[in-house]
């Protein structure tokens, strides 16, 4: 697990087309491929998201090195999104650590905590995430970051263990 005195410096930056080769490599890694679609399908989706207003695709860097992919999205900007029952100001997030050697070490929890803090500082009121119910490692990382189980839903990708984290001081959700 991560120790405070050795806490890595994470940074989130917008993805660029130059990142696609690396993201394709990550999408092919067994620990990622199990939960994501085929690399060419996912890259096409990411490219489409780069031009959208509802989704922000990003690269996670640790100490200046790219280590994963994440995205935030506003379910209220997408027609018919299944999470529109959430309060206004809700953002959804998806994350995947691409580098296999960095999984299971606490980075996912640390990254999601930092991302949540940045999204809350930018005005988000609630953050939701929807791992596959079988993805126990991700669910545990999100629980450690403060997310709580809401319910089981069906997303366009199948069953989802729907979780939420409210901004500090938000009680009306």
More confident residue, 4 or 132: 132
8 Å CB contact between 26 and 98: yes
Instruction: Tell me the mean pLDDT in the region 148-164.
Output: 90
**How many whole angstroms separate alpha carbon 117 and alpha carbon 113?**
6
CA–CA dist 168, 171 (Å, integer): 9
The phi-psi region of residue 158 (left if phi > 0; otherwise alpha if psi is between -120 and 50; otherwise beta) is: left
DSSP state of 82: T
Domain extents for the chain? 4-166
Average pLDDT taken over every residue of the chain: 91
pLDDT tens, position by position, 41-98: 999 999 999 998 889 999 999 999 999 999 999 999 988 888 999 999 999 999 999 9
CATH 3.40.50.11810 is right for the domain spanning 4-166: no
- Quick one: pLDDT band at residue 157, thresholds 50, 70, 90? confident
Q: pLDDT band at residue 136, thresholds of 50, 70 and 90?
A: very high
């Amino acid at each position: 697990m991560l120790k405070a005195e050795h806490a890595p410096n994470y940074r989130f930056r917008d993805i660029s087309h130059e990142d696609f080769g690396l993201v394709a490599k990550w999408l092919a890694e067994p620990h990622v491929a199990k939960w994501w679609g085929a690399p060419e399908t996912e890259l096409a989706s990411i490219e489409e998201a780069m031009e959208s207003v509802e989704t922000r695709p990003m690269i996670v860097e640790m100490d200046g090195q790219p280590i994963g992919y994440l995205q935030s999205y506003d379910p209220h900007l997408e027609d018919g999104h299944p999470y529109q029952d959430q309060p206004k100001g809700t953002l959804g997030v998806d994350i995947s650590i691409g580098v296999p050697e960095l999984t299971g070490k606490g980075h996912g929890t640390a990254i999601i905590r930092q991302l949540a803090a940045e999204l809350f500082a930018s005005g988000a009121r609630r953050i939701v995430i929807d791992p596959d119910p079988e993805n126990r490692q991700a669910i545990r990382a999100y629980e450690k970051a403060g997310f709580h189980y809401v319910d089981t839903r069906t997303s366009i990708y199948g069953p989802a263990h729907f979780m939420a984290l409210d901004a500090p001081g938000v009680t009306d959700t």
